[in-house]
Structure 1
């Protein structure tokens, strides 16, 4: 689904839900207000008729014949009243009268028989001095046969001698309600349609630059070299610039150029040494010198192999976006395994280990990658540590973090190298031999820590010469 359609679908869903709630509330309110508007004049009519009936009463006895005749005559009239869109053709208002005991004297609708006692709510409430109103169905099975009744007391000489109730069928009122609801429906539908059209045009306007970027990316993926599209606004220009940078990275120009230059530089020295020694060995060379040259060839070949292995490990690691293996790893055990690989080298340099590592410090990660990272830091510490010195290893928990520190008392990091120690192929000469390493170890450590969501830091010791390597991970 395109971004434009997502905008439309999301807006349509929200707008439809909101307007549906609004329509429900409006419909209920409209229906109520229509019935309120009808009930208010019914109260007036009921009280007017009550006064007419009171004036015609004789000796406290109601005389409803004249009112009954007038109502029947009105109901027989044929009307032609155009009330907006509805034509009214007859009087549909109903009237019934009871005496003070609730006995029906007459009912214009013929529902209540004269002489029966009415127990309807409007009768009982009106005769007790309250506001009497009710709604009742004339047909129990027809929801549209509801009639609204409003009562008024008939008072003569301060005494209630009966009541009159006005009835109005709601079906006539409902026709107005339904017409209004239809108008509301069409109004809301039109509003939603116009809003969808507006959001569609706005979404197309907003996503047109993204479409241009998408077409540009597809062209690049096909091997074409299109010009970067012109983008409006700061954010879109930044996105276009980032896409162009990604294009350069995908083409591999900067990546391959940097690798080839650095690798060529690193390979020159061992290859030259091997070629020189092999040329010398082609002549007549005394046995002691022959053995020394052969040893040099082997050492340089080992150096080349180590460089290529490290480079392969780093290249594979740089392609990983997430950890392929994630399991509980004990930092103390990881350090011990890594130290065992370098124990003989440390003994040869008379470098000892001071271990201050908690036995229960656990993180989640890849055991093999973590061991390689720690092994690289140990190798660096041994290479730079003076002979006869000690390497201090600490591991502890700080808040929710697991911290591993490895300290040596070597010369420390020169100021010119502080910002470059984690660069690929960058290396410092070892104090004893003056030789450099492959320059891939610390870069590998940085990649491993970032892949584990951690960090690595190299700093000088605060109390004297030396370097502290600090690994920080999220503790399990």
Structure 2
């Protein structure tokens, strides 16, 4: 499982558990909170009414009390009130008064006058100087059928002469409870959705950055041209830059060691030839022989120079990870430049260059492309018999621009096919000359910088065709 997906799932789990816990706490606290508010209001109301009716109760005028009559009338009043979006159509309360023995002397509902309420908690506790309240269900275990009763003492100085209880059904506040719970759940769901969206965005960003870094690492591991992508100034960017620095140090050390080993090996032969010729020239010999050995020294020295020059050019393109400033390059102009570069060698060998280039433009480095095509032509000239024709083509094939160089030589032996692009590996020329073995490796690196590839294969009836495949063709 990818790290981005693991982080996303972990984030979902944490956010989901936290949201579930918080929503449960909030929803669970709504009902007790509303009931506590209801009880607080009933306490205030009971004590207010108990003080208002105290004189009538003390005088024994409960049945003739105008105040109690009004309380009874108000209980039957119809109202039309909007409270926080909910309609209230009636006054849902009940008031009753008990004497010192707990017997009901007044009931706003008119149904329990004369009943003994002395054992009910609201009356029992209040008559004994405590806080009297109770909640009684009307239908078994149905919590919404409960009625809350809150009592207050009716005082005559310091003496309790009765109890006034205010009762209100819990069901009257249930719509407010349900509404609050619904709003909490809705907004909690929105918050959870937003949190998950943020988590998805973060996980996508992290996964994208890590995937970009992994592609770069895979290219480095495979030995392909790769430049460190822009990863920002965060921890992933720091990690990427650290990997790039480590890569440069390790590749640089390994590259130098390999280069020094191969260079020393390749220089042994021309140095030995120069040393041998120089030692022989110290002796007396005919002028013709001396001239022969002198020519050998000059040829071997030129070979060393070519080897070093081409090796330096190869090093530059091998260490270069991308083109710094690619620009449009006309293939016809490129062909004219390369023809001029090899014209002297063509004339000396009696060869003809047949160039047919379509009017195409590619994007890249003109100098590197010129050197790459020049290397292919140098190989074609070396292996072509005198008087032969070398063909140079530039054409569009599908979504690629293909530059091909074909000769009429003897072709590539089977044993050499797998080693053509090895550094310092070369086949002997028909005239016995030896190449540096750096031309094709250079061409391959140039193609890699251009996002292309190079192929070399035999053609019928005889000869070799080398092809440069360049992507992103612009037709003018």
- TM-score if structure 1 supplies the norm length? 0.54
Which residue number corresponds to residue 406 of structure 2? 407
Query: How far did 1:372 drift?
Result: 0.5
3-state SS of paired residue (1:436): coil
Q: Deviations over 1:392-414 (max 9, x none)?
A: 11111122211111111000000
Q: CA contact under 8 A between 1:459 and 1:468: conserved in structure 2?
A: yes
Q: CA contact under 8 A between 2:15 and 2:192: conserved in structure 1?
A: no
Q: Quick one: structure 1 residues 181 and 255, their matched pair in 2 at CA, closer, same or farther if it must change by over 3 Å?
A: same
Q: CA contact under 8 A between 1:339 and 1:378: conserved in structure 2?
A: no
Query: How far did 1:178 drift?
Result: 2.2
Q: CA contact under 8 A between 2:335 and 2:355: conserved in structure 1?
A: no
Q: CA contact under 8 A between 1:425 and 1:438: conserved in structure 2?
A: yes
> Which runs of 5 or more structure 2 residues have no equivalent in the other structure?
31-71, 78-89, 97-133, 138-142, 150-169, 200-205, 211-242
3-state SS of paired residue (2:267): helix
3-state SS of paired residue (2:419): coil
Counterpart Cα distance in 2 of 1:398 and 1:4 = 42
Q: Quick one: structure 1 residues 184 and 282, their matched pair in 2 at CA, closer, same or farther if it must change by over 3 Å?
A: same
Say whether 1:438 aligns with 2:413. Answer: no
Q: Deviations over 1:63-110 (max 9, x none)?
A: xxxx988735974514954685998558xxxxxxxxxxxxxxxxxxxx
Counterpart Cα distance in 2 of 1:450 and 1:386 = 31
Query: How far did 1:442 drift?
Result: 0.5
Q: Quick one: structure 1 residues 266 and 323, their matched pair in 2 at CA, closer, same or farther if it must change by over 3 Å?
A: same
Q: Quick one: structure 1 residues 78 and 296, their matched pair in 2 at CA, closer, same or farther if it must change by over 3 Å?
A: farther
Alignment of 1:70-469 (within 5 A): 71-72=76-77, 75=92, 77-78=94-95, 81=135, 89=148, 173-179=175-181, 250=250, 255-256=255-256, 258-358=258-358, 360-431=359-430, 433-462=431-460, 464-469=461-466
Q: Quick one: structure 1 residues 189 and 388, their matched pair in 2 at CA, closer, same or farther if it must change by over 3 Å?
A: closer
Query: What RMSD over aligned residues (CA atoms) do the two structures have, in Å?
Result: 4.7
Which residue number corresponds to residue 470 of structure 1? 467
3-state SS of paired residue (2:465): strand
Counterpart Cα distance in 2 of 1:403 and 1:190 = 56
Counterpart Cα distance in 2 of 1:364 and 1:336 = 18
Q: Quick one: structure 1 residues 369 and 180, their matched pair in 2 at CA, closer, same or farther if it must change by over 3 Å?
A: same
Q: Quick one: structure 1 residues 402 and 248, their matched pair in 2 at CA, closer, same or farther if it must change by over 3 Å?
A: closer
Q: CA contact under 8 A between 1:248 and 1:254: conserved in structure 2?
A: no
Q: CA contact under 8 A between 1:19 and 1:188: conserved in structure 2?
A: no
3-state SS of paired residue (2:263): helix
Counterpart Cα distance in 1 of 2:297 and 2:418 = 34
Query: How far did 1:351 drift?
Result: 0.4
Query: How far did 1:383 drift?
Result: 0.4
Q: Quick one: structure 1 residues 7 and 392, their matched pair in 2 at CA, closer, same or farther if it must change by over 3 Å?
A: same
> Which runs of 5 or more structure 1 residues have no equivalent in the other structure?
32-66, 91-167, 197-202, 208-242
Query: How far did 1:299 drift?
Result: 1.3
Counterpart Cα distance in 2 of 1:13 and 1:369 = 53
3-state SS of paired residue (1:409): coil
Q: Deviations over 1:35-79 (max 9, x none)?
A: xxxxxxxxxxxxxxxxxxxxxxxxxxxxxxxx9887359745149
Q: Quick one: structure 1 residues 311 and 85, their matched pair in 2 at CA, closer, same or farther if it must change by over 3 Å?
A: farther
Q: Quick one: structure 1 residues 172 and 282, their matched pair in 2 at CA, closer, same or farther if it must change by over 3 Å?
A: same
Query: How far did 1:362 drift?
Result: 0.9
Q: CA contact under 8 A between 2:144 and 2:171: conserved in structure 1?
A: no
3-state SS of paired residue (2:76): helix
3-state SS of paired residue (1:284): coil
- TM-score if structure 2 supplies the norm length? 0.54
3-state SS of paired residue (2:418): coil
Q: CA contact under 8 A between 1:457 and 1:469: conserved in structure 2?
A: yes
Q: Deviations over 1:288-346 (max 9, x none)?
A: 33333222212111110110111111111111111112000112211221221111111
Q: Quick one: structure 1 residues 247 and 453, their matched pair in 2 at CA, closer, same or farther if it must change by over 3 Å?
A: closer
Q: CA contact under 8 A between 1:401 and 1:473: conserved in structure 2?
A: yes
Counterpart Cα distance in 2 of 1:458 and 1:396 = 17
Q: Quick one: structure 1 residues 178 and 390, their matched pair in 2 at CA, closer, same or farther if it must change by over 3 Å?
A: same
Q: Deviations over 1:148-176 (max 9, x none)?
A: xxxxxxxxxxxxxxxxxxxx998652234
| Equivalent pairs, count | 305
Counterpart Cα distance in 1 of 2:299 and 2:172 = 106
3-state SS of paired residue (1:418): helix
Which residue number corresponds to residue 116 of structure 1? none
Q: CA contact under 8 A between 1:317 and 1:447: conserved in structure 2?
A: yes
Which residue number corresponds to residue 237 of structure 1? none
Query: How far did 1:455 drift?
Result: 1.3
3-state SS of paired residue (1:419): helix
